[in-house]
């Protein structure tokens, strides 16, 4: 997988879309931040699988997730690591 963050899926929204939206409103700094943690739904979207498959990957230990205030979140770096392991293996 390419190391160029603009090509990667983060939070279900390609960075190029977020950048375009932010450019419309210069005071919107959030448009320039790339999410570091994503929801199960966003991770499923990024991987092209169902939410159930993401939960199965977490249960099997193939994908690491963290709970924060009751929400299950996966780091974008963890998604990258998982995809890279698929490509390498």
User: What's the domain count of the chain?
Assistant: 1
Do 76 and 34 contact (CB within 8 A), yes or no?
A: yes
- Residue 62's pLDDT is 97
Distance, in Å, from the CA atom of 39 to the CA atom of 85, rounded to the nearest integer, reads 21
The answer to whether residue 27 sits within a structural domain is yes
In a domain, 2, yes or no: no
Domain residue limits at 38: 8-88
Mean pLDDT of the chain: 79
- CB-based contact 8:1 (threshold 8 Å): yes
Identify the CATH number of the domain in which residue 23 sits: 1.10.1660
Per-residue pLDDT, 79:
96
Residue 34: per-residue pLDDT: 82
Q: pTM here? A: 0.66
Predicted confidence band at 25 (pLDDT cuts at 50, 70, 90)? Answer: low
Residue 1 lies in a domain: no
């Amino acid at each position: 997988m390419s190391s160029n963050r603009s090509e990667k899926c983060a939070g279900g929204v390609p960075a190029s879309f977020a950048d375009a939206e932010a450019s419309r409103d210069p005071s919107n700094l959030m448009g320039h931040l790339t999410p570091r943690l994503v929801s199960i739904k966003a991770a499923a979207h990024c991987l092209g699988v169902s939410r159930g498959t993401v939960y199965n990957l977490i249960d099997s230990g193939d994908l690491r997730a963290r709970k924060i205030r009751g929400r299950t979140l996966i780091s974008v770096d963890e998604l990258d690591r998982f995809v890279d392991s698929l490509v390498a293996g």
